[in-house]
Structure 1
Amino acid sequence: MSLGFGVAIYFVIWWIVLFAILPFGVRTSEEVGEASNAGFAESAPHKPKMLLKILATTIVSGIVFAGIYAIIVHHVITLDEIPFFPRYERVQEAG
């Protein structure tokens, strides 16, 4: 796996995990018991804790990337081990 390919895969994983983690622990001002600020939507989070979510996203993305790296580079899972993939015969080179 080249460095560019690894960075691209990590970037995609990071964004997917970020969008999965964003809703955790979100409370609106109404749910907290405070009045919402003027100019903000009523559904806006009271305190989104973005730094904590970015840190959690980075850690979870690193774990997921390590698993995908192991699958791609070390052939932990091969395509032949996936049950619903079609089976093809290997072609022997003439020589």
Structure 2
Amino acid sequence: MSLVSGVVVYFLIWWVVLFAVLPFGTRPEAEGDPESGWRGTPQAPRLWRKAAVTTLVSSVIFVFVFLLIDSDWLSFRTGWLALPEK
């Protein structure tokens, strides 16, 4: 995997994990708007903590993906997924 493709893969993993982590621990306003019922944004979203957790989880997933891509276990050129030779 080249440096550019590694950065792109890490960036994609980071954003997917961020959207998975964002709802954890959020509490909407208890009262909300009496007319519309809209409860608004969370009171304490703790975005720095969520960014740190996202980075940690993304790094672990990226290492696994990197090792999987660089191994011959999952390859279309060699191994059990290889295309038959003509």
TM-score (norm 1): 0.71
The whole-number CA distance in structure 2 between the counterparts of 1:18 and 1:53 is: 8
- For residues 9-42 of structure 1, the C-alpha deviation after alignment (integer angstroms, 9 at most, x for no partner) is 0000000000000000110121xxxx569xxx52
The whole-number CA distance in structure 1 between the counterparts of 2:43 and 2:73 is: 44
Stretches (4+) displaced over 3 A: 76-79
Q: Is the 8 A contact 2:32 2:40 kept in 1?
A: no
The whole-number CA distance in structure 1 between the counterparts of 2:4 and 2:56 is: 20
Match of 1:59 in 2: 56
Match of 1:90 in 2: 85
Q: Is the 8 A contact 1:70 1:76 kept in 2?
A: no
1:76 CA displacement: 4.0
Listed as ranges, the gaps of 5+ residues in structure 1 are: 82-86
SS, match of residue 40 in structure 2: coil
Matches within 5 A, 1:74-85: 74-78=71-75, 80=80
Matches within 5 A, 1:1-95: 1-30=1-30, 42-78=39-75, 80=80, 88-91=83-86
TM-score (norm 2): 0.78
Of the structure 1 ranges 41-50 and 57-66, higher mean CA displacement relative to structure 2 is found in: 41-50
The whole-number CA distance in structure 1 between the counterparts of 2:83 and 2:7 is: 32
Match of 1:84 in 2: none
